[in-house]
Amino acid sequence: MAITEFLEFNAKNYPDDIALVEVNPEVSAKQFKTWKESGLMEPSAAGPYRLDITWKIFDEKANRVANAMLGRGVKRGEKVGILLMNCLEWLPIYFGILKSGAVAVPLNYRYSADEIKYCVELADVEILIFGPEFTERISEISEELSNHRLLFYMGAKCPDFAESFPMETSNYSSKAPAIELNDDDLAAVYFSSGTTGFPKAILHRHGGLMHSALTEQKHHGQQKEDVFLCIPPLYHTGAKMHWFGSLVSGGTAVLLKGTQPEHILQTASDEHCSIVWLLVPWAQDILDALDRGDLKLSNYKLDQWRLMHIGAQPVPPSLIRHWKEYFPNHDYDTNYGLSESLGPGCVHLGIENISKVGAIGVPGYGWEAKVVESFEDDAREKTVNTSGNFAAPRKEMPRGEVGELAVRGPAVMIEYYKDPGATSEVLTEDGWLYTGDMAKQDDEGFFYLVDRKKDVIISGGENIYPVQIEDFLHEMEEIKDVAVIGLPDKRLGEISAAIVELKEEGSCTERDVFEFCLALPRYKRPAKIIFAEVPRNATGKIEKPKLREIYGGAFLVAAETETK
């Protein structure tokens, strides 16, 4: 069974029920005077910008997209990229690509022009659908991208280097194409990166998408009457796989554009949301606003809100304890996952295990997990079996001892697309995936993350890759050496800090470094600069554990002292 069959079931059985709602609290409908020019839908006549579509319209839009793909010569298994901000059209486009037999390739909206080009070429994308927010970036690379590729623009005032996507789809049938799909068909490519920051293309089958949907619904018990509030970007496996629970149950989902505490609570109130998935900084912002008295729960209707769950980064137990003070009746769950396992759910806490807050949980529905011995990245001969095609099996660690977390289940990736070497380092012949995360298991079988084997910094749910920033800062003439590490932060989980060793003491200031970093995207700019020696070991590697030990604890103590 393909994931698209859930959509067709809902369209047949709940044709007039609302499937998707898009809300932008910061924009009035009056500001959308040119909306008709875009070929999309009109907003409501008054109040905040709000759109919705029924399951029937959702399915028809997906069918038009599918038929447009087929009409332009897209063949089964070919790749179609999506570069859009969250919007009401995002999921119909995604499902239309799947219905055509093509492979959906969502792209991170934070990517620079060079990163977009790299990912499009790596994944062999034949068609790229992009929105107005990306016109400038695409224009930089349009000549290279348009070579043997189609560029479709979704919005008003189509640039001359692309074709208008709404105009394209309006000419095609709203009936489902005669394309048969099964679990083994290729479905999607998602991107992930190691510590170097170079994306890997992760290839998944329809069976993996299907299992992710069933896992989400099993974990959180979505029913037809549930309303899911979705805030994170849909290009990410986490947001989409959590929404799959609404797809399975036929429930409504609300796409909220914005993360302000008052907007989250107001939307949950107005749209009668019963399930809300938050990232740590958003939950912390809500708590801070309530503590200050800026928000009052009595101003909102939140009795229907039954579940708050968090993923994408470690969750401080203190945050959940504080949350339960304001929302004592909420169920809570935390989810662990990675793009290689199609998002959250391979390990999850479970709403019945609130007493184990701090753990990432137990294996999810249909999943297995274990802690195995870990090796350094350069000890490849220990991790790859003799054939070189798969990672070698590793010894399981006794409970209580730290090792690398490994997971196995129906949604593990097929491979890193066009990268057999990287695939052979993490995927065993019998389907175990080495996650790169260090963990331990307690006597009751609950898993706890201890540290990340990789140096990726997770700040507010976004991955920051230290090597990219280090390479950039090395271009600054005054800098002799630099190391970027994560420091604990109450709101974001972590912030990035650059340990900068100067060629000559006092040759530049903190302000000079910050100004140099303005050329980086905002989320990649270091939040803190520390002038100090950068320690390296005998083989020339930066000793980042030592740096985290030196600065992490001191920074946390200073931050806690400052807030008292």
Question: Which DSSP letter does residue 59 get?
Answer: H
User: How confident is the model at residue 44, as a pLDDT?
Assistant: 46
The phi and psi torsions of 395 (rounded to 5 degrees) equal -70, 135
pLDDT at position 464 is 83
325 — phi, psi (to 5°)? -70, -35
Which backbone phi and psi does 459 adopt, to 5 degrees? Answer: -115, 110
Q: Which of 71, 69, 31 is nearest to 49 (CA)?
A: 31
Residue 270 is which amino acid? D
CB within 8 A of 74, min separation 6: which ones? 80, 100, 102, 126, 127
What is the phi/psi pair of residue 212, to 5°?
-60, -40
What is the average per-residue pLDDT within 340-352? 92
Q: Tokens 């994306």 correspond to what residue?
A: 199
Those residues with Cβ within 8 angstroms of residue 308's Cβ, 6 or more apart along the chain or in another chain: 276, 277, 278, 283, 323, 327, 330, 331, 332
Per-residue confidence band for 389, with pLDDT thresholds at 50, 70 and 90: confident
pTM over 0.75: yes
267-276, 304-313, 396-405: range with lowest mean pLDDT? 304-313
CA distance 187 to 13: 25
Place of tokens 């697309």: 417
**Each residue of 236-269: pLDDT tens digit?**
888 889 999 999 999 999 999 988 999 999 999 9
Rounded mean pLDDT, 34-60:
67
pLDDT-based confidence at residue 347 (cuts at 50, 70, 90): very high
- Residue type at 365? Y
Q: How many helices (H) and strands (E) does the chain have?
A: 17, 26
Looking at the chain, the whole-number percentage of residues with pLDDT higher than 70 is 89
Query: Does the pLDDT value for residue 374 go beyond 90?
Result: no
Rounded CA gap, 58 and 23, in Å? 17
* CA–centroid distance for 43 within its chain: 28
pLDDT tens readout for residues 53-72: 999 999 999 999 999 999 99
**CB contact set of 237 (below 8 Å; sequence gap of 6+):** 190, 212, 337, 339, 342, 343, 344
**Average pLDDT of 432-443?**
92
Q: Is the pLDDT of residue 35 over 50?
A: no
- What is the structure's pLDDT at 149? 87
| Mean pLDDT value across residues 501-510 | 89
Res. 196 pLDDT band, cuts 50 70 90: very low
Q: How far apart are CA 331 and CA 509, in angstroms?
A: 48
- Mean of per-residue pLDDT scores for the chain: 88
Among 247-251, 332-336, 441-445, 476-480, which stretch is predicted with the lowest mean pLDDT?
476-480
